[in-house]
Amino acid sequence: MFRKNLPGTRLAFALALISIGLGALVSLSLPANATSQGYTFTTLDFPNSSKTFGMGNNASGDIVGYYVDSTAQFHGFVLRAGKYSTLDFPGDNVAWTQANAVNDAGDITGLYSLKAPAPAGNVHGFLLTSDGKWSTVDYPEEGHTMSGGGYAIANDRTVFGCFHDGAPITAMFGYSVGPGGAARFEYPVAGAAFAMHYGATPDGKTMVGSYRAGGTGMDSWHGYMVSGGKTISFDVPGQLSTNALGIRQSPDMAIVGTYKTLVDKTWNQHGFVAMTGGSLDPAKWNFTLVDVPNATQTILRGINTSGQLVGTYIDAGGGTHAFIAAPASVPATAPAPAAPAPPSTGNAGLAQEPPAGPAVLAAAGLVLVVLGASALAALGSRKRHRAR
């Protein structure tokens, strides 16, 4: 049997601000009963954006993601030492940029797309090193509908993600590209794969992701973990449509992601944290369900060594916000670790903005999460398709 931490009612969570890696961010007011799970939540809205998506974090407290500006344009961002910086892949023909993951050295990966008309395979993965150098990181094989997309990055700068075939997509493959070369991941069946890597441990030896099997509906998705040469399939017990989206390596192995519920013909996403206890047997894992209080949807994308969760939520009014959630065991007054200097971007330097003030944060409210990238379609984001 699964060991579960699955109360019958939606888990409520703490209120407040977490200062580790966030500097001057202002906490929001939440109901007093929002402390039951021992997390404190902080909304992260990129200044003057219409939507903000939280995608990943690292041991230093850096947070990456992407936001939508007033013209509906997508831009990547990094939040480091309390300052937001825009990340746009350089080039006049770049349509949009999305930052998905940051390693402990401050290197960032994500994806970008070219403007129309563009050649086939015009969505690409990228690497932005901590010293400000941009490069494209695709699976080194031509002729695919989508060439690449980075969703995780190890400390040696190995990028993990996916590439696609078919229009509409009929095949999806995980890949890794780094100092050790390139590797292709096909699951559950070679030649008919529909899977992608979403997360990886800092040493790059364990990956997590999602695959589709047994149909094409939203309830056909399952999580996987690749470790020690084995691929382990798992689902959140008692729930549908599991997506494994992030993993931490220490102090213990923990996986974060989403599961879905069907409400009035609409699939709603909710977060989970799976503590593995070092076991490769999902029946021995401890699953905890995570929902931002009062949110309609929540997705967890990242977890770091301090147990801080990063993700996105959708509020009752349909607004999309990034958030960070810290365990109660992490003191709100703890000093932020030293972080690398912000990287440069392709737009004439680094566009830096201070965190939103109290009025902006209060207006944003604190409610639920939307995913980024490939999960956008699943959440009904109605924006252009971005690699699954």
User: Can you tell me the distance from the alpha carbon of 37 to that of 329, in angstroms, rounded to the nearest whole number?
Assistant: 11
Across the beta sheet with 309-314, the strand order is 14-15, 39-44, 320-327, 309-314, 297-303
pLDDT at 215 over 90: no
Of 56, 53, 51, 62, the residue nearest 109 (C-alpha) = 56
What integer pLDDT is reported at residue 6 of this predicted model?
Answer: 39
Cα(195)–Cα(388) distance, integer angstroms: 8
User: What are the tens digits of pLDDT across the range 62-96?
Assistant: 999 999 999 999 999 999 999 999 999 999 999 99
For position 387, what pLDDT does the model report? 37
Position 384 scores a pLDDT of 37
At residue 214, the pLDDT reads 82
Question: Does the pLDDT of residue 340 top 80, yes or no?
Answer: no
Average pLDDT, the chain: 79
Distance CA 99, CA 109 (A): 6
Residue type, 202: P
Instruction: Check if the beta carbon of residue 99 is closer than 8 Å to that of residue 126.
Output: no
How much of the chain exceeds pLDDT 90, in percent?
62
Q: 145 pLDDT band (50/70/90 cuts)?
A: confident
Tell me the mean pLDDT in the region 322-341: 58
Domain covering 3-378, topology = Neuraminidase (2.120.10)
> Does the pLDDT at position 386 exceed 70?
no
**pLDDT of 363 above 60:** no
The reported pLDDT for the residue numbered 36 is: 32
Q: What is the pLDDT of residues 15-56, one digit of tens each?
A: 222 222 222 232 332 322 233 357 888 999 999 999 999 999
- pTM to 2 decimal places: 0.77
- Given this model, what pLDDT does residue 265 score? 85
Question: Whose structure tokens read 């696609």?
Answer: 164
On whether the CB atoms of residues 52 and 65 are closer than 8 A, the answer is yes
| 264-314 pLDDT tens trace | 888 999 999 999 999 999 999 999 999 998 999 999 999 999 999 999 999
**Residue 330: what pLDDT?**
63
| 199 secondary structure, DSSP code | E
- Exposure of 278 by Cβ count < 10 A (0-12 exposed, 13-18 middle, 19+ buried)? exposed
User: What pLDDT shows up at residue 15?
Assistant: 26
Within 10 angstroms of residue 132's Cβ, the number of other Cβ atoms is 14
Q: How many CA atoms lie within 13 A of 278 on its CB side?
A: 3
Specify the pLDDT at position 37: 59
Instruction: Give the residue, 118 or 231, on which the prediction is more confident.
Output: 231
The sheet with strand 207-212 has its strands ordered as 195-200, 207-212, 221-227, 230-234
Confidence category of residue 189, pLDDT binned at 50, 70, 90: confident
**Tell me, what's the pLDDT at 308?**
96
What pLDDT, on a 0 to 100 scale, did the predictor assign at position 264? Answer: 86
- Among 256-260, 316-320, 380-384, the minimum mean pLDDT is found in 380-384
Percentage, residues of the chain above pLDDT 70: 75
Specify the residue for token string 């004439």. 348
Q: Which pair of structure tokens corresponds to residue 171? A: 């095949």
Task: Judge whether 65 and 55 are in contact, CB under 8 Å.
Answer: yes
> Do residues 332 and 19 touch, judged by C-beta distance below 8 A?
yes
**Annotated domain spans of the chain:** 3-378
